[in-house]
Each structure stands twice: as structure tokens, then as C-alpha cells.
Structure 1
Amino acid sequence: MKLYLDFEPCKECNVMMNELSSPEMLFADAKKRADESAKFLRHLTYNHNEVVQAVMEDLPKQKRDQEFDFFK
């Protein structure tokens, strides 16, 4: 799944995006790329609530599979 977000990146975002798109990172091992991507996603989650809100609006709502009678 790909999400295209329209937000104003801060200085930290720009630095991390440049690092993620650098040739060193493109040819790095999968673990290092995953760790750096997770770091960037944590930054977005904790520092850019407009991004979180946009993602929540775009993702389909999950329906509860099981609802027990005592929850109703």
C-alpha cells in the first residue's frame, strides 16, 4: 500500500528523507533500511499529527470480527 501525504516536512524530516534516499541506504541490507524507515515513521507519528490524521482518514475502518454478547 502506498500513501501520498501532503504535509510540510520539518528540518528533521528533510534530513531523514535525504538519508533514506541516499545511494548508501538504497544498497544497504534490509535490516538497516527497515530500522531507518521505522525511525522516520516514529518521527512522523510523534511530531506530525496532521500526517496521522490524514492516514487515519485514508485507511479503511476495520470492522470487529467478534463481538461478544456481554459487550453489547
Structure 2
Amino acid sequence: MKLLLDFEPCKECKEMMTELSSPEMIFADEKIRIDQSAKFLRHLTYNHNEVLQAVMEDLPKQKKDQEPDFYQ
């Protein structure tokens, strides 16, 4: 799933994006890449409300009727 976001990155965002796209990180161990990506996503979630709102709008809504009804 790809999600395109239009937001103004802060100084911290720019530093993390530069680090994530560096050759050292691209060829780093998978666990290190996962940890750094998670750190960036946490930063976006906690520091950029506009990003969180855009994600919530774009994600498909789960319908209640998809849940099994055990009382029928």
C-alpha cells in the first residue's frame, strides 16, 4: 500500500528522511531499517496531526457487517 502525503516536514523529519535514504541505511540490517522506519512513523504520528488526519481519511473503513454475528 502506498500513501502519498502532502505536508511540510519539520527539521527533524528532514534529518530522518535523509538518514533513511542514505546508502548506509539502505544496505543496513533489516532490523535496523525497521527500527528507524518505526521511529520516523512515531514522529509523524505524534508531531504532525495533518499527517494523521490524512492517513485516517485514506484508509479504507472497516464495515461492522464484516464481523461475524455469533447471536444469529
TM-score (structure 2 length as normaliser): 0.90
SS in 2 for 1:8: coil
CA separation in 2, counterparts of 1:68 and 1:15? 50
Structure 1 match to 2:63: 63
SS in 2 for 1:52: helix
Structure 2 match to 1:47: 47
Paired residue type of 1:4: L
SS in 1 for 2:39: helix
CA separation in 2, counterparts of 1:40 and 1:9? 11
Identify unmatched segments of 5+ residues in structure 2: none
Structure 1 match to 2:2: 2
Deviation at 1:66, TM superposition (A): 4.0
Paired residue type of 1:40: F
Percent of matched pairs sharing the same residue: 78
Deviation at 1:22, TM superposition (A): 0.2
TM-score (structure 1 length as normaliser): 0.90
RMSD of equivalent CA atoms: 1.2
SS in 2 for 1:44: helix
Identify unmatched segments of 5+ residues in structure 1: none
